[in-house]
């Protein structure tokens, strides 16, 4: 660095490359929709199986959602949104705390954090605190012996106190919500009193599940969406329509069938292809077949197995592939092994051919010696187009979100050549990096993409309308679906072509 000895203006020139950054909204996050007997109704992020259990519980009468979540994390998933769907008139369990006077005054209510019969197993205790005039409250679930939360030295009379009971509990509890009814006095002591009147409502229908997609309107991330067990065309097409309305949602569609110990006689390749042909022909969704068998995690019986939807495991595979390679790598091949899977229906070569070449392709799951149960397909339900491949569509989703992030800074900037050059440089640097990772085809960046933002696009009428236009073209990667090995036999002059 030069030494400055006299006052003046000095110029320091830097040739550092631009460092464009892509915002969090460009990252794809898995999302699941399903019925559950416990948990928040708003889309909520969970980061591990334990994180899911702490908010939603584990196994219940309908295990499609928790099994999908467990398979997701067991297959390398990092984080996902969960949308719990309820129907009918579910009610949250509650209990009122009083001051214990002859004519008792209601001081506060303690209500389960979310609706459902589960809340009737929550127990609340109020005891005198070691600090005079204060109260301790403990929450037990699912029985009196299991204390899950404890709040000490609370007051219910001074709303300005840092340990005011209602605010203190609500800012910390995962199990209950407190509400004030009076600040006249402290609640009286009680021991292990259950909450009451919680109710589950009715069992959500397939239509309830598909309609729940709108809850993700508040999520800005690109989504990898699975509705475990949802396969009927009417409701799958509702989910696909939501994906098309956003253009940044990719749907993983489960195979026809449901949880059982053995496959149904109707869960055939022919029936699956017939069903897939009724789905909307879009590149924003992909079907996987068949169902898979896993060691049953819902029971303690040694050797028990369960036939389940593979969508959660597939979503975990997508997440792992995105992290290790990128969205441009197809989540398929000999390295695309599904964890936890112990069996799946065997598919003949003819069945594999029909699944891949159908009008609405279906991606097979098959056993490969030395690799295990792997995904051997990377096609969307939109056949015959350039974006029929999953990595092509998902690369377009990623680039679209990333370019929006990268160009946000241009809003309200002076619309002139300085801005155009800046946008050109920012987007070009990002695409060059994406190309260097293997995301674009071409021997050089010039072969892989182009970026144009200049006076030819941004004419005076365009500028007068408050617009700035940038054109971007990319050469997206496509998976090597068919490997052709040609062996020449020089001695006899014969040539053998082997197709794998």
> DSSP of 14-53, one letter per residue?
--PPP-----GGGSEEEEEEEE-SSS-SS-EEE-SHHHHH
**How many angstroms separate the CA atoms of 459 and 452, rounded?**
13
**DSSP helix/strand/coil, 199:** strand
Which pLDDT value is given to residue 60? 87
436's CB contacts (< 8 A; 6+ apart) are none
Question: Checking DSSP bridges between strand 249-253 and strand 285-289, what pairing results, if any?
Answer: parallel
Nearest alpha carbon to residue 226 among 359, 62, 216: 216
**How many angstroms separate the CA atoms of 120 and 142, rounded?**
9
Quote the percentage of the chain above a pLDDT of 70. 90
CB-CB contact of 98 with 188 (8 Å): yes
Residue 61 — pLDDT band, cuts 50, 70, 90? confident
* Average confidence (pLDDT) over 230-258: 95
Q: How many residues does the chain have?
A: 500
Q: Which region holds residue 327: left if phi is over 0, alpha if psi is between -120 and 50, else beta?
A: alpha
CB-CB contact of 373 with 385 (8 Å): no
In tens, the pLDDT along 208-241 reads 999 999 999 999 999 999 999 999 999 999 999 9
Which pLDDT value is given to residue 322? 95
Strand order in the sheet with 176-180: 94-98, 106-112, 176-180
| Residues 115-141: b if buried by 16+ CB within 10 A, e if exposed | bbbbbbbbbbbbeebeeeebbbbbbbb
- The yes-or-no verdict on residue 16 having pLDDT over 80 is no
pTM to 2 decimal places: 0.89
What are phi and psi for residue 16, nearest 5 degrees? -65, 140
| Block residue for tokens 């979100």 | 401
* Average confidence (pLDDT) over 22-33: 81
Which pLDDT value is given to residue 370? 94
Which pLDDT value is given to residue 499? 41
Residue 242 — pLDDT band, cuts 50, 70, 90? very high
Question: Could you tell me the CA-to-CA distances from 321 to 399, 410, 481 in Å, in that order?
Answer: 17, 33, 17
What are phi and psi for residue 60, nearest 5 degrees? -150, -160
- The H or E element spanning position 484 is strand 484-488
* Average confidence (pLDDT) over 479-496: 60
**How many angstroms separate the CA atoms of 395 and 393, rounded?**
5
- The H or E element spanning position 316 is helix 311-324
**DSSP helix/strand/coil, 387:** helix
Nearest alpha carbon to residue 200 among 384, 62, 20: 62
Half-sphere exposure of 339 toward its Cβ, with a 13 Å CA cutoff?
16
193's CB contacts (< 8 A; 6+ apart) are 95, 123, 124, 125
The maximal CA–CA distance of the chain, rounded, in angstroms, is 109
| Dihedral sign from CA coordinates of 179, 182, 186, 189 | negative
Structure-block tokens of residue 199 = 């109710």
Which pLDDT value is given to residue 1? 57
Which pLDDT value is given to residue 387? 79
* Average confidence (pLDDT) over 426-433: 95
**How many angstroms separate the CA atoms of 212 and 486, rounded?**
51
The domains located in the chain, with CATH, are 94-194 (2.60.40.4290), 217-391 (no CATH), 411-500 (no CATH)
**How many angstroms separate the CA atoms of 460 and 454, rounded?**
12
Which pLDDT value is given to residue 27? 84
- The yes-or-no verdict on residue 252 having pLDDT over 60 is yes
Nearest alpha carbon to residue 355 among 373, 327, 376, 386: 376
Residue 17 — pLDDT band, cuts 50, 70, 90? very low
- The yes-or-no verdict on residue 500 having pLDDT over 50 is no
Nearest alpha carbon to residue 281 among 369, 393, 197, 195: 393
Mean pLDDT of the chain: 91
């Amino acid at each position: 660095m030069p030494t400055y000895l006299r006052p003046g203006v000095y110029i320091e020139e830097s040739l550092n490359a631009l460092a464009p950054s892509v915002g969090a909204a460009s990252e794809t996050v898995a999302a699941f929709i399903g019925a559950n007997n416990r948990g928040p109704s708003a889309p909520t992020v969970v980061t591990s199986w334990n994180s899911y259990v702490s908010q939603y519980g584990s196994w219940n009468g309908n295990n499609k959602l928790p099994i999908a979540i467990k398979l997701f994390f067991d297959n390398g998933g990092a984080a996902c949104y969960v949308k719990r769907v309820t129907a009918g008139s579910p009610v949250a369990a509650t209990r009122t705390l009083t001051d214990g006077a002859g004519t008792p005054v209601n001081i506060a209510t303690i209500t389960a954090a979310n609706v459902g019969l589960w809340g009737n197993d929550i127990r609340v205790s109020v005891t005198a605190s070691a600090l005079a005039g204060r109260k301790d409250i403990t929450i037990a679930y699912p029985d009196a012996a299991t204390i899950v939360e404890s709040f000490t030295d609370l007051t219910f009379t001074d709303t300005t106190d840092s340990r005011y009971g209602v605010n203190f509990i609500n800012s910390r509890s995962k199990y209950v919500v407190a509400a004030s009814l009076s600040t006249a006095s402290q609640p009286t002591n009680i021991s292990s009193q259950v909450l009451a009147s919680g109710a589950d409502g009715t069992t959500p229908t397939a239509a309830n599940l598909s309609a729940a997609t709108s809850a993700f309107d508040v999520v800005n991330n690109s989504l990898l969406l699975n509705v475990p067990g949802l396969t009927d065309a009417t409701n799958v097409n509702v989910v696909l329509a939501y994906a098309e309305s956003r253009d940044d949602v990719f749907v993983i569609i489960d195979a026809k069938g449901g949880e059982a110990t053995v496959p149904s006689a109707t869960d055939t390749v022919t029936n699956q292809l017939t069903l897939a042909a009724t789905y909307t022909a879009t590149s924003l969704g992909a079907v996987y077949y068949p169902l898979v068998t896993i060691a049953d995690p819902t029971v303690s019986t040694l050797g028990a197995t369960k036939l389940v939807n593979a969508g959660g495991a597939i979503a975990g595979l997508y997440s792992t592939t995105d992290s290790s390679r990128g969205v441009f790598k197809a989540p398929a091949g000999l390295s695309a092994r599904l964890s936890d899977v112990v069996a799946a229906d065997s598919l003949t070569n003819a069945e594999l051919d029909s699944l891949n070449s159908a009008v609405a392709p279906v991606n097979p799951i098959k056993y490969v010696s030395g690799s295990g149960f792997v995904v051997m397909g990377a096609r969307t339900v939109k056949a015959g187009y350039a974006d029929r491949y999953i990595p092509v569509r998902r690369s377009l989703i990623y680039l679209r979100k990333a370019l929006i992030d990268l160009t946000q800074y241009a809003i309200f900037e002076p619309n002139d050549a300085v801005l155009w050059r800046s946008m050109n440089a920012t987007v070009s640097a990002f695409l060059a990096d994406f190309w260097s990772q293997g995301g674009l085809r071409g021997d050089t960046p010039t072969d892989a993409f182009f970026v144009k933002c200049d006076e030819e696009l941004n004419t005076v009428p365009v500028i007068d309308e408050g617009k700035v236009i940038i054109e971007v073209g990319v050469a997206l990667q496509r998976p090597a679906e068919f490997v052709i090995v040609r062996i020449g036999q020089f001695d006899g002059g014969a040539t053998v072509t082997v197709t794998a």
